[in-house]
Amino acid sequence: MTVINTISELRECLAQHRKEGHSIGLVPTMGALHEGHASLVRRSVKENDVTVVSIFLNPTQFNDPKDLERYPRTLDADCRILEQCGADIAFAPTVKEIYPEPDTRQFSYPPTDTVMEGAMRPGHFNGVCQIVSKLFSYVEPDRGYFGEKDYQQIAVIRRMADDLGFRLQIVPCPVVRQSDGLALSSRNALLSPEERKTAANIYRILNESRSLGLSVQQTHDWVVKEINAIPGLEVQYFSIVDGDSLADVTSWDETASIVGCITVFCGTTPIRLIDHIRYK
Ligand code: PAF
């Protein structure tokens, strides 16, 4: 695997591959890689001739400086994981390389980017669109791989890619979970072993909520009540939405695809965890 730090070197290397007719898969990451990322990389390796994994802790998508400060940074271990998964290129640029000047572009895709995470973290999706659009234009991938754990992020990136005319295929990949159901996330590294156990209740409760036979509103209220009843967990929001538009739904018959998206504060720090469940 080649580690590349500059855009010009990346472009040069990929131009050669394109000349040879190689297909290119891109897996954007912020590092602190875990099995969830590894599953995306392995899938890209299987489906493309060349896999590029970007490792870039993108400052413009953090609206809370403390969150950025405590985000785990593990470049050497990340590169070892990528080698094992068969990635061809790790693109690990500096902040100056990506943002020599502040990026003033504004992306706006309401309601997809204004509800849920968009409402709780103003500017977050704008930062995601800034970096992902840059990566798409440097790499010009045939396919881009994104974890469904960040369900809303994929919906926003799809709209941005359509809007800017990127011709790649966005490939959503299933959430990878611990055996107790906790969705793998780089933020889990910030939880104590006890908090990790507590956090596993989030998915257990979401999963149970699928078989209650309650209305949408009752299901919503039940999930919030059950999670909040567990010491160390506090729901920030739980929204039951159309799986494509992310607009709120009020009845199970309203649309063909329905997803419940949740954000929960866990532990004393506290760490913000997100997850979702598909109802239909
Ligand atoms: O999902 C992430 O890790 C980030 O939001 C992404 C897509 C790599 C952009 O920085």
Q: Which residues contact 204 (CB under 8 A, 6 or more apart)?
A: 180, 181
* Domain range summary for the chain, segments of one domain joined by +: 2-173, 186-278
| Ligand 1 neighbour 132 (Cβ under 6 A) | yes
Catalytic residues: 37
Is 274's C-beta closer than 6 angstroms to any atom of ligand 1? Answer: no
Q: What is the mean pLDDT of the chain?
A: 97
Q: How far apart are CA 46 and CA 25, in angstroms?
A: 10
| Confidence band of 186 (pLDDT split at 50, 70, 90) | confident
If you take atom 7 of ligand 1, which residue's CA is the nearest one? 28
207-261: pLDDT as tens digits: 999 999 999 999 999 999 999 999 999 999 999 999 998 999 999 999 999 999 9
Distance 158 CA to ligand 1 centre (A): 14
Cα 59 to middle of ligand 1, angstroms: 11
User: 85 and 77 in contact (C-beta within 8 Å)?
Assistant: no
**Does residue 128's CB lie within 6 angstroms of at least one atom of ligand 1?**
yes
Ligand 1: distance of its center to the CA of 115 in Å? 18
Cα 119–Cα 145–Cα 205 angle in degrees, nearest 5: 55
Rg of the chain over Cα atoms, rounded to whole angstroms, equals 19
- Could you read off the pLDDT of 115-164 as tens digits, one per residue? 999 999 999 999 999 999 999 999 999 999 999 999 999 999 999 999 99
d(CA 195, CA 182): 11
Judge residue 16's burial from the number of C-beta atoms within 10 Å of its C-beta, 0-12 exposed, 13-18 middle, 19 or more buried: exposed
pLDDT tens column, 56-89: 999 999 988 998 998 889 999 999 999 999 999 9
* Domain 2-173 class in CATH: alpha beta
| 107-133: burial string, b at 16+ Cβ within 10 Å, e else | bebeebbebbbbeebeebbbbbbbbbb
Q: What is the CATH number of domain 186-278?
A: 3.30.1300.10
> What pTM did the predictor assign?
0.93
Q: Are strands 258-266 and 271-278 parallel, antiparallel or unpaired?
A: antiparallel
Closest CA relative to residue 170, chosen from 15, 28, 14: 28
